[in-house]
Amino acid sequence: MEPRILGLHHVTAIAGNAQRNYDFYTKVLGLRFVKKTVNFDDPGTYHFYFGDETGSAGTILTFFPWEHITPGRRGTGQATEIGYSVPAGSFDFWMKRFEAHGVTYNKPSEKFGEQYLTFLDPDGLKLELIVSKTEDTRTPWTTAEVGADVATKGFHTVTLTLASIKATAEILTDVFGYTLLESHVNRYRYVTDTVQGAAYIDLVEVPGEARSVTAGGSVHHIAFRVKDDEAELYFRKKLIEKGMQPTPQIDRDYFHSVYFREPGGVLFEIATENPGFTVDEPLAELGTHLMLPQQHERLRSRLEASLPPIG
């Protein structure tokens, strides 16, 4: 049986102040802080991971918090919306919570027969809470203030804004095995049947829209999930045959990665399930230590002194 893409693995975005980012996602949204590490290419900067109890694929939102980053601009060639699945009847809770914490949000609306609530994080990253019309049985991470009846369950949709969707859609369908589920005006929803959650990609076509600027409050890349290294290398080969230029496989400690820029300009990653976030911390202690890639371990004393304390 041929390997399959198993929906979304994670989404990585850019933030400003690290403490503000940590507070918003753990205290306001109620996500688990799964991993505190550093940017492989810029070890003087944190790399934060937020998700469910174990850091399951399809729940992980990660950030590079650069303190003095300028604001980005949404536009074409970018992932512009990140949608989380939430239980029916939870919007009143979230709107009251957003008001209490000064979060910018819009009134609920509907697309593809699903209610959604749009809001912005402190850096202007655009997020949505979505009540899926198909049952989502994933177990959410909960806190004293955000209970299971309202908590996010992981990703539902990521939206890409593109000048033209044709070539991007061909990557989704011809290489990744997605199918077009439905469309409305200039929004096209693609789905994989391999997973229940984190299964949708929306493509929005806006030929006259300005090109995006990736900076603070922007998505850096989106990652698609595969089971293991063998599956990842299978898709790398398919991408090369399609005329793409994927990177070699890169060890990111918690998963193995292959990157490429899809024809519409969005940076895509293929990420493995293995080895997972408990490879260097016990489950109960996830996110409680500064974990460094082996090549940066020699910098530990310097980084612990220079990185801002978080908590």
Q: How many CB atoms lie within 10 A of CB 130?
A: 22
Residue 311 in domain = no
Number of domains in the chain: 1
Place of tokens 């929004």: 187
Domain that holds residue 81: 8-306
Six token digits for residue 196: 């229940």
Say which CATH number the domain at 66 has: 3.10.180.10
Sign of dihedral through CA atoms 169, 227, 156, 77?
negative
Place of tokens 């996110």: 287
Cα gap 285→24, rounded to integer Å: 20
Residue 29 in domain = yes
Cα gap 43→138, rounded to integer Å: 34
Residue 1 in domain = no
Residue 264 in domain = yes
Residue 2 in domain = no
pTM for the full predicted model: 0.97
pLDDT tens for the chain, 311 residues long, are: 899 999 999 999 999 999 999 999 999 999 999 999 999 999 999 999 999 999 999 999 999 999 999 999 999 999 999 999 999 999 999 999 999 999 999 999 999 999 999 999 999 999 999 999 999 999 999 999 999 999 999 999 999 999 999 999 999 999 999 999 999 999 999 999 999 999 999 999 999 999 999 999 999 999 999 999 999 999 999 999 999 999 999 999 999 999 999 999 999 999 999 999 999 999 999 999 999 999 999 999 999 999 999 98
Residue 53 in domain = yes
Cα gap 311→306, rounded to integer Å: 16
Residue 131 in domain = yes
